[in-house]
């Protein structure tokens, strides 16, 4: 199963790109809208779809050896929480 940028956007997931070099470890949230503008909504959003597109400018400037970036996907916890608790109300026994 492939996942596209449009899927990632629809799921309200956050995608972070991280530098894989231990001396650097920079990480930044990807702008999915901007990626869709450049790559199209049907472009894959899995690791292998994106890994070749990114590199670390800091490592390049510092002359460190090139390490592939990796991605972290943060689900929409708040949205999931809202859905789970939609019909739930706590009991309250206070005065």
Closest listed residue to residue 30, CA positions, set 75, 72, 66, 91: 72
Q: Compute the least distance from the CB of residue 49 to Zn ion, in Å.
A: 21
Alpha carbon distance 67, 54 (integer Å): 11
Q: Check: CB of residue 49 under 8 Å from CB of residue 35.
A: no
The smaller minimum CB distance to Zn ion, of residues 63 and 90, is found at 63
Part in contact with Zn ion (CB under 5 A); list of ranges 15-23, 36-44, 69-77, 82-90 = 15-23
Instruction: Compute how many residues bind Zn ion; rule: CB under 5 A.
Output: 6
Q: Which of residues 43-72 bind Zn ion (CB under 5 A)?
A: 56, 58-59
């Amino acid at each position: 199963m492939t996942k596209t940028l449009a899927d990632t956007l629809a799921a309200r997931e956050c995608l972070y790109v991280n530098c894989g070099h231990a001396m650097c470890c920079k990480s930044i949230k990807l702008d999915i809208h901007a990626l869709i503008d450049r790559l199209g909504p049907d472009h894959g959003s899995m690791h292998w779809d994106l890994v070749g597109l990114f590199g670390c400018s800091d490592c390049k400037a510092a002359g460190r050896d090139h390490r592939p970036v990796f991605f972290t996907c943060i689900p929409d916890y708040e949205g999931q929480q809202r859905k789970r608790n939609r019909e739930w109300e706590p009991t309250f026994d206070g005065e």
